[in-house]
Amino acid sequence: MEAQYELLDSGGGRKLERFGKVVLSRPCSQAVWRPQLPSSVWHQADATFDREDGNRWHNRSALPAQWMIDVDGIIFQLSGTDFGHLGIFPEQRAQWRWIRSICASSKTPPRVLNLFAYSGGSTLAAALGGAEVCHLDASRGMVQWARENAARNGLAEHPIRWIVDDAHKFLCREERRGRRYDAIILDPPTFGRGQNNEMYKIEKDLPETLRLCRNLLSEHPLFVLLSAHTPGYTPIVLQHVLGQSVEGLGGELESGEMLLTGAPSVLPVPSGVYARIRFGKC
Ligand SMILES: C[S@@+](CC[C@H](N)C(=O)[O-])C[C@H]1O[C@@H](n2cnc3c(N)ncnc32)[C@H](O)[C@@H]1O
């Protein structure tokens, strides 16, 4: 079956991607190399997005109001937002596969916490692997989007708690309530706002986020997966900060770049980094 997401090309500060039948050209600052495809192919994109004069779509009317794609067995509802996002970060694909396979191999349904959870890719991967999930995002609209994605994946009745809250406030409350999780996934923004406008800055807040997460890990945890899209945050940066936060728990720590990919001849585009630790099996 033809892949429903693929990177078609990149270069000249842009990326050309196909989401189902829709081809989009969007900014990509790291693509400092030359495009491989001729400009005639790039000009056939259904719509383009630019940040030159503020955020702007060109030919947005060519985009369906909503459409769906299946990425590795997870169905996503997409829509062109004012910020150029579509409701999916396909560079997380390899993480979603990892999450799903670990959850599926657990003897009992693991309890998974997904923070800064956006449209729910990681939540869906964990739930499809059989986990009970707590999904948290400060944006009510994003939580609603994720719920709709869950329904599209036949998970409307699955045990998923949907929380609209500030991440730190919620983590402190969960600790007081004595709730514990077997796995924690977090993709903190460079800069974000909590539900009541609390400011989140990764450079200041990440160690505290991880300290709070550490306090919520169950006695025999499965994993912690941290990812970020912050300039200057390399895999080793994330590996160090994650490693320090779970010191003394053992486990296998690894890190790497997240990539947008297409056919083998297409240059992969680095889009963020991850570090993850896999503890003993439960
Ligand atoms: C980078 S996106 C996450 C992307 C997502 N994990 C993915 O890969 O598909 C960051 C998300 O964090 C949320 N957010 C920002 N500040 C927050 C805060 N203080 N507490 C909770 N969520 C927050 C935003 O609403 C946004 O959905």
Instruction: State how many domains the chain has.
Output: 2
Residue ID of nearest Cα to ligand 1 atom 16: 192
Residues 71 and 4 sit within 8 Å (Cβ to Cβ): yes
- Amino acid (one-letter) located at 154: G
**For strand 22-27 and strand 199-201, is the pairing parallel, antiparallel, or unpaired?**
unpaired
- Decide: 42 in ligand 1 pocket, CB within 6 A: no
CATH number at residue 64: 2.60.40.1180
The tens digit of pLDDT for each residue in 194-222 reads 888 889 999 999 999 999 999 999 999 99
Q: Last residue of some domain: 52, 78, 104?
A: 78
Are 228 and 281 spatial neighbours (Cβ–Cβ below 8 Å)? Answer: no
∠ Cα 233 126 254 (to 5°): 35
| Same domain for 20 and 158 | no
> For position 272, which CATH number holds?
3.40.50.150
Clarify whether residues 177 and 50 are in a common domain: no
Residue 85 domain flag:
no
- The structure tokens listed for 60 are 């947005």
Instruction: State whether 13 and 117 are in the same domain.
Output: no
In a domain, 109, yes or no: yes
Atom of ligand 1 nearest to the CA of 167: 20
pLDDT in tens, 83-114: 899 999 999 999 999 999 999 999 999 999 99
State if residue 137 touches ligand 1 by the CB under 6 angstroms criterion: yes
Where is the domain boundary, 23, 47, 78?
78
- Rounded to the nearest 5 degrees, what angle is found at the Cα of 177, between the Cα atoms of 161 and 241? 80
Residue 77's DSSP bridge partners are: 68
- Domain span holding position 65: 5-78
Do 162 and 124 lie in one domain? The reply is yes
- For the residues 30-48, what does the mean pLDDT come to? 97
Asked whether 116 lines ligand 1 (CB < 6 A), one says: yes
Please tell me whether residues 173 and 211 are part of one structural domain. Answer: yes
249 pLDDT band, cuts 50/70/90, is very high
Take atom 19 of ligand 1 and give the residue whose Cα is closest. 194
Phi, psi of 59 (to 5 degrees): 65, 35
Same domain, 20 and 115: no
Tell how far the Cα of 99 is from the centroid of ligand 1, in angstroms. 18
Residue that the structure tokens 């309530």 belong to: 177
Q: Which of 22, 52, 78 is the last residue of a domain?
A: 78
Least confident interval from 118-122, 265-269, 278-282:
278-282
Residue 84 in domain: no
The two tokens of residue 78 are 């997409």
Our answer on whether the CB atom of 192 is closer than 6 Å to any ligand 1 atom is yes
CB atoms within 10 A of CB 174: 20
**113 and 151 together in one domain:** yes
One domain for residues 95 and 121: yes
Claim to verify: residue 136 and residue 33 sit in the same structural domain = no
Are 266 and 5 in contact by the 8 Å Cβ rule? The answer is no
pTM: 0.96
Tell me if 265 is assigned to some domain. yes
Q: Residue 282: pLDDT band by 50, 70, 90 thresholds?
A: very low
Same domain, 190 and 71: no
| Residue 106 to residue 122: CA distance in whole angstroms | 17
Could you tell me if 152 and 19 lie in one domain? no
Ligand 1: atom nearest CA of 199 is 19
Q: What is the pLDDT of residues 127-138, one digit of tens each?
A: 999 999 999 999
